Structures are given as structure tokens and as C-alpha cells.
Chains A and B, each alone.
Chain A
Amino acid sequence: MSPSRAPKVTVSMEVPLGVTQALDVPVGTLQLRTYWQTVWQRVLRDPVTLACGGVLLVLIAAAIFAPWLGLSDPFASDSAKRLLPVGSPDHLLGTDELGRDMLSRLVYGSRLSLTMGVVPVIAALAIGGVLGLVAGFVGGRVNMLIMRVTDVFYAFPSILLAVAIAGSLGAGVANTLIAITIVFIPPITRVTESVTTQLRAMDFVEAARASGASTYAIIRTHILGNVLGPVFVYATVLVSVSIVIAAGLSFIGLGASPPDAEWGLMLNTLRTSIFLAPLISILPGFMIFIASMCFNLISDGLRSAMDVRF
């Protein structure tokens, strides 16, 4: 619970008949929080979102600081120590089919897997966000053009589209990033467009236009702040989808290639050992599950925290 929980005074809209003066709420008692402060207060009261945020922070920190964690070399194989069980001395999470340390490979693998989860979403956010803003704000034929083109991409299931694009570009991490970015541009464009279109019809945007402000100033002050929230929430869901798609592409050989450490690829190479060492073989899949689940739950938490009804 936050320490500064002074009772929040909400100004009543119902003015008793005859009361014509402004409601005299002393300045000190009325909590004047900005929107983001309110959202943050709500997140602090949501244990699930906080827990997921904690797990993700640990994962991200481990990925960033992997070289300094004193882990063994993720590429050093030792044929004498293949498929050691979880809990072996020197190999806390065992070893894989080539005798490489699993803990080290999982941590180093998170670097690639998390990157492939986050980077396409950020890229798609930049491109799709701009497209959606333009389509929503300009409207008319521009809207028609942009939205019908995105509909074409919508016609394909996302994983199939990613496979098709990655397949035609060729295997490799960079191509996987491009493929997933292209898959995510249409949904982000659509979400941004629908929110922008709703906002454009609002009186406060009309009033801003009536003040003679430039289109740029209107978008920056009145549209962007109101679009960012819902689009950001949606983007967090896409991160979890992105992690799964990236792992899937690597699994079928279109993403990272051996000997890289990447969760989807590790899942593939360990697949043959599933009967010999089931626990080890499942570990990369477990990591994929944890990471995408956390992003998903955080998105849910943010959605409810940002749903501040005014």
C-alpha cells in the first residue's frame, strides 16, 4: 500500500439547489495527481502485475548483465557431461545434449529471445503508430488507402505470415525481426486508427482546431496523449506474442541458427532428448512460457490501471 494515501476527495457534480458558489474544497485536501501518477498508484495496489513486473525485471537484468554473472561459457561443450540432470554440481540446471551448461545457455538465450520479443514491437509501434495516426486524423481517402492495405495483411494468420516472410527473406535473426515487425504493423495501425478516429470527433479536438492551431500541435497536445495509453497496453500484449512467434521461427529453423543460444532453437535441439532428460528438454519452453505470460499479465494490469474513468 502506498504511504501517501490521504483520503481522496472527489468533487461532487451534484450541486444542491441554491448553492451557486464554486465548491469550496481546500486546495490541500484535493489530491491533484496527474494521470500517470494515478495509474502508478493503481499498479502499486495490484499484486499480480507487481509480481510479473518483478519477474521480468530479473529476466531483463540477467540478460543485460549475463557476462558478469560468473556463468560458464554457454558454447563450451563437453561430450563427457552430456544431459547431466538438474541439480548437478557445477551445472545447477544440468547440461544439454552437447554437454553445455543449461543455466548459462538459458540466460544467454534470454538476450536473443527477449530482443526478438521487444524490438519488433517497438519497430511496429513506430511505423504502425504513425500510419494509424495519419489514417485516423486525415480520414477520407488516405484512411481508406492505409486501412485497406493493412486489411490485406490481416487476411493471413499471424504465425503463417511470419513464416512466409521469414522463409522468403531467409533464415537469420535480422530477418526474423523484420518478419515479425511486418506482422505487427497492421494490428497496431488498426488500434491507433480507431482510437484516433474517435478522438478526432471529440469537441475538444474541434475546439483546438477552432483555435487555429496547426495540425502538428493538435496531434501532439490533444491526440498523442490520449492515444498512447491504449496503444501502449496493446503493444505489451504483442511482446508476448512476439516472443512466442520468434521462438517458433527459430524452432523450425528460420530464426537463430546453431550454435546460438536461443530458447526456441534450444527447444528444437533438445527435442530428441525428451525421453532421456525430460526436465532439461522442457526448460527452454518453460522460459518462453514465463516470459510471455508475464508480458501478458502486465498488459492486463496496465489496462485496468489505465482505465481511469473521468
Chain B
Amino acid sequence: MNPQSTSRTPLLSVKNLRKHFPVKAQQLGGPRLMVQAVDGVDFDIEQGQTLGIVGESGCGKSTTARLLMHLIIPDTGEIALNGRPVMRPDGIELRELRRQMQMVFQDSYASLNPRLTVVDSIAFGPRAHGADREKARGRARELLSLVKLDPDQFGPRYPHQLSGGQRQRVNFARALALEPRLVILDEAVSALDKSIEAQVLNLLMDLKRDLALTYLFISHDLNVVQYVSDHVLVMYLGKVMEYGSVDDIYHRPRHPYTQALLASRPSMDPDVKLEASPLVGDPPNPINPPSGCRFRTRCAYAEGVCEKTEPRLHALRAKGHAVACHMSISGSGHSKA
């Protein structure tokens, strides 16, 4: 999918990632319904880059993150870290995958054990990987300094004695404790105040540079994604709608959904008012998604072909820009193709 990545092995390569969750049958003996949470997602992340994933609530962003960590086991999908496939006989072990890949959750409070001090929370990972108690605690104190928290002051505290921003820094420190190569940030700054958010984002960017990290940045906040990402993946109802560089996605969006998302951003200029809501209503039910293109029910350009055939993710002439829309596929049968 990503034409750039022919020569070098991407740090993370994901192909055809799929997870359908069973839903309780409506009636006894009724059909077993499935929520198509993530349905055939592919992407690569290059070493040192940041891939942003955007989309509305329920589009499968967080499920994707949990699938990558194998907190939920995917139905299908080939995940390879540095060219080594996960959970294959010749590939990378789950334990090693989880050392090289770490995750930060949205809820800074729920992601810390209320009975453990900050130092012990951070030291848990290294301890689980065989470090002795004192060494792990020493490491935890180093990490606290790294995320700009004074180890003497904050190390012995409990999570409820910290502010939201401080807690989220502790969560970063915990994620970094195992020296991962890839960090998944699942709405990691979304719950913070705007002023704190900016500060934490800058810290994240500094850490990325200093520790040669790679980020997978999941957010619903388009401005934040634009600020941190190198590439962006737009998801809708478990499918990839568009993928490309930040520049392509934000300045030359090709998919009507991406265009609508960008148009829905509030302007910083108070005189610019949105004429009409670019997107109406909620996404359809993922248990029974629309036939053909999943976005067609809310798309202004939908035609007969959109209902009949599902558009494949199609590489455009611009390098690394791909879009799943019939309007961008010549000969698809769409009047604007």
C-alpha cells in the first residue's frame, strides 16, 4: 500500500487486520450478529515516524491499537515488527512484542493502580522482565526525570495525589520503562486541558527525538494529529478511507469523508462561519454496515456504483497517497471518476 517502503523494512507492518466481535443473538437461535470493529486494515509505519489515525467515535481506532498490542487477539491479520511476524513459529514472541511496543491509554487515572506508588507502577514492567527491585526503582526514578517530574517529590506519591497532566506523564514513563521502539498513544492527550495538552505534546515530541521513538498516534482531534504526524490514516466504520502524508491529507484530501472531517473543524477566525454541517447524523450501525462503500449513506456524491461495489484502497499518483473512493478510481463507473 505504501509505495515508499519498497527498499527499507518498515518498523511496523500491518496487513489485513480484522476483528469482528460477536453480539448476543437477539432471540434464541437467531442469527449470530457480528460487530465489524476493524475490517481489513493495512498500514506501515517507518522507523522514527509518527502515524496518526483519525476518525469518529466507534470507527475502530482504539480496537486497532488493542489488536496491535494483542490485548485483543485479531481474527486475521499479519502484523510484523521490523520484518518479524508476530505469533508465527519463526517470528517474534508476544512477550518480546510487548516489550518493543508499548501503549498509553486515554484515562490517565484508570491506567494507574491506585494502590501502587508512582515509582512502583513504573517499576512493574522492568520487574516483570527480570530486573531486581532496586534496579527497577532506580530506572523508574530516571524515567520520572525524563518526563520532567521530580523523582523525590513524585516518586512516593499515589495516583490520586497527582493532577491529570502529571498522571499522564507517569503513564508515559511507564510505557518507556521497557525501552520500546514503538509507542501507541491512544487518545493519550485528549482528556487533558488545552494548556496542559500542548505542554505534554511538546514533551512527547522531545522524547521521540531523544529516544528515537516511533509513534502511532490515535486521536479524534484533527489539529493535534496534524501537529504531530508524518502520515495520517483516516478510518470510518472499521475501514481505511484514506492514507497519505500530513500534507496530502490536510491540503489535498481526496475522499469525501476526509474533506467533510476537515470542513467540520472550527475555524480560528470568528468571522468564518460554517454554512451547513458537513456531516449529518451518526455513523451507521457497524453490526450491519452499508453495502458497497461504507460511507455512501452520508456521502454527498454517492451514486449507484457506490452501493454495488466496495472501493478498494487505491494508490494515487502522489507518492504514498491512497484513497478508497470510486471518484478517484478511473473507470469505476462513478460519474466523477
Contact = CB atoms under 8 A, between A and B. Distances in A.
Contacts of A35: 114-115, 158
Interface string A1-37: 0000000001111010110101101010010100100
Contact of A207 (B115, B154, B174): B174
Interface in B71-124: 71, 94-99, 102-103, 105, 107, 110-116, 121, 124
B196 A15 contact: yes
A202 B116 CA distance: 14
B149 interface: yes
B243 to A, nearest CB: 25
Interface in B160-176: 160-166, 171, 174
B156 A17 contact: no
Contact of A22 (B98, B115, B125, B150): B150
Given A15-B163, A20-B199, A203-B110, A211 B128 contact: yes
Given A27-B152, A212-B98, A11 B161 contact: yes
Given A11-B161, A310-B114, A310-B158, A211 B107 contact: no
Contacts of B113: 204, 208, 221-222, 225-226
B69 interface: yes
B6 interface: no
Nearest to A25: B153
A207 B94 contact: no
Contact of A213 (B96, B124, B166): B124
Given A27-B152, A35-B115, A222-B113, A210 B163 contact: no
A23 B121 CA distance: 21
Nearest to A16: B195
A10 B107 CA distance: 21
B157 A30 contact: yes
A88 interface: no
B178 interface: yes
A212 B177 CA distance: 12
A11 B158 CA distance: 11
Nearest to A38: B158
Interface string B268-286: 0000000000000000000
B165 to A, nearest CB: 7
Contacts of B153: 22, 25, 27
A69 interface: no
- Chain A contact residues: helix, strand, loop or mixed: loop
A211 B96 CA distance: 9
B159 interface: yes
A210 B174 CA distance: 11
Contacts of A18: 195
B247 interface: no
Contacts of B163: 11-13, 15, 23
B193 interface: yes
A211 B159 contact: no
Contacts of B154: 22
Interface string B115-159: 110000100110111000000000000000000111011101111
Contacts of B196: 15, 20
A137 to B, nearest CB: 14
A217 B127 CA distance: 9
Given A15-B196, A202-B110, A310 B160 contact: yes
A196 B89 CA distance: 33
A226 B105 contact: no
Interface in B240-286: none
Interface in A26-61: 27, 30, 32, 35
A91 B160 CA distance: 58
Contacts of B165: 15
B98 A210 contact: yes
B115 A32 contact: no
Contacts of A204: 110-113, 121
A17 B197 CA distance: 12
A203 B114 contact: no
Given A18-B195, A35-B115, A202-B110, A211 B158 contact: no
A297 B153 CA distance: 39
A143 B33 CA distance: 23
Contact of B95 (A15, A206, A212): A212
A22 B195 contact: no
A226 B114 contact: yes
Nearest to A223: B113
B104 to A, nearest CB: 8
Interface of B: 66, 69, 71, 94-99, 102-103, 105, 107, 110-116, 121, 124-125, 127-129, 148-150, 152-154, 156-166, 171, 174, 177-178, 193, 195-196, 199
Interface of A: 10-13, 15, 17-18, 20, 22-23, 25, 27, 30, 32, 35, 202-204, 206-214, 217, 221-222, 225-226, 310
**9 closest A-B pairs (Cβ-Cβ)?**
A213-B128, A203-B111, A310-B160, A212-B98, A211-B125, A203-B110, A212-B95, A203-B105, A225-B115
24 contacts: A10-B161, A11-B163, A15-B196, A22-B153, A22-B166, A30-B157, A32-B161, A35-B115, A35-B158, A203-B107, A203-B110, A204-B113, A206-B71, A206-B111, A207-B111, A207-B171, A208-B113, A210-B98, A210-B102, A212-B94, A212-B97, A212-B129, A217-B124, A217-B128
Given A211-B128, A217-B124, 9 more contacts: A11-B161, A11-B162, A20-B199, A35-B114, A206-B105, A207-B103, A211-B102, A221-B116, A226-B113
